[in-house]
Amino acid sequence: MQTSIANKVRVRFGRFRRRFPSFKEGAYIYITLGERQVTLPLKERLGKGGMGEVWLSQWEGKKVAVKICSNHSLRARREAGMAGREHPNLMRVLGGGVCECRGLPAFAVISEYIEGANLKEAKAENLSLNARLYIAREVLKGLAYLHENNIIHRDIYMENVVLSKEGQVKIIDFGLVKYNSEEDVEETDPGIIMGNPSRSSPEQLTSSQFSGTYSDIYGWGCLMYYLLFSSYPNADYYALNRKNDGKGAELKSNLPKFLFDLFMASKQREDVVVCDEEKLERANIPPALKEAVKSALFLNPSKRPDTRRLLSIMERLAINEAAAVEEIKEAVARARKAVENAPTQLASL
Ligand SMILES: Nc1ncnc2c1ncn2[C@@H]1O[C@H](COP(=O)(O)OP(=O)(O)OP(=O)(O)O)[C@@H](O)[C@H]1O
Ligand SMILES: [Mg+2]
């Protein structure tokens, strides 16, 4: 029986969660980093995603973040491959290696710790337009660096961009990166989808083989659209097209198939933009920004601008950088306070 696109996406994201147990605060992991063995304490869980758990730790006197994944995770190895690639708008990866935790073989990736909050936690969609434009522009700068180095991120969305308490904007989570020059085992299986229905490009949801730097442009368009409207464009486009057939409740499971069909059926069509275009038209934002978002969300990847072109559009917008940084610092402080005041898991038991 053929697996549906929706199922394939679910399999991809659900597999790890089911197989791997959680770690405990106060535990240690022993990582083999090349010739060295390092022991890192797990101090506080920073996040839990499809790929593994991210913990705050300490290494050589500095705070670091450690992502612990299943030993078989190609995603972890891809992320470790980012070590040595440095840019102010990218999380700095320090290294990675096999480890063991609670008797299970695992793989750990050590990165700089960014003391801050991701865009979702910081409720970045509620910031001033100036701050949102600044964030979007900084993300583009990080993407431009990746693309110049033939690397595709493939997972740009709200939780994968972190704001630091100093007001910096950093792309994190390199688990889906594709190094264009290298053979990638997962890439050879067209049945595996590297993405997420709510925010990945239609070509990425069709087959991982179709993804390119243009898929990050689409990801950037989704991020900007979310910052403007608090919703992702894929869902808006789907909802528009399904408005009258009473299938709204099935939105989640139908969306990947819908985008797959759309991509396969009208790849050549020049005019399809995957979003609610009227909503975008009505928005009280500079026309150049509307154009930038619209062009990034073209169904046809070849119609999307490249990072440099998009960056030049964003750089022409009047952005008050100092004001944006101040606003971001406040948003991060608010988000961190909210986390501190939230009842702990223990307290809620
Ligand atoms: N270096 C870091 N410094 C601070 N926080 C981090 C760092 N890395 C990750 N986080 C936090 O942990 C969360 C999950 O991290 P990440 O996205 O890398 O994990 P993931 O397992 O790949 O998640 P998913 O598959 O759901 O995208 C992030 O949204 C962020 O809040
Ligand atoms: Mg992530």
Residue 316 sits in the same domain as residue 177: yes
Residue 71 sits in the same domain as residue 128: no
- pLDDT at residue 327 greater than cutoff 90: yes
Question: Which H or E run contains 324?
Answer: helix 321-341
The secondary structure of the chain in percent helix, strand, coil, rounded to multiples of 5, reads 45, 20, 35
Q: What is the CATH number of the domain that holds 34?
A: 3.30.200.20
- pLDDT at residue 206 greater than cutoff 90: no
Residue 340 is assigned to a structural domain of this protein: no
Ligand 2 centroid to Cα of residue 172, in Å, is: 7
Host domain of residue 194: 116-333
Closest ligand to residue 69's CA? 1
Measure the CA–CA gap between 139 and 329, rounded to whole angstroms.
17
Residue 223 is assigned to a structural domain of this protein: yes
Residue 264 is assigned to a structural domain of this protein: yes
Residue 338 is assigned to a structural domain of this protein: no
Residue 98 sits in the same domain as residue 132: no
Residue 67 sits in the same domain as residue 147: no
| Among the listed residues 28, 14, 9, the one whose alpha carbon sits nearest the alpha carbon of residue 106 | 28
pLDDT of res. 172: 97
pLDDT of res. 339: 81
Ligand 1 pocket, 120 CB below 6 A?
no
Interhelix angle for 251-266 vs 233-242, to 10°?
Answer: 90
- pLDDT at residue 183 greater than cutoff 50: yes
Ligand 1 pocket, 286 CB below 6 A?
no
pLDDT digit string, tens, across residues 14-68 = 344 445 557 788 888 899 998 999 999 999 999 887 778 999 999 999 999 999 9
Query: Does the global pTM surpass 0.75?
Result: yes
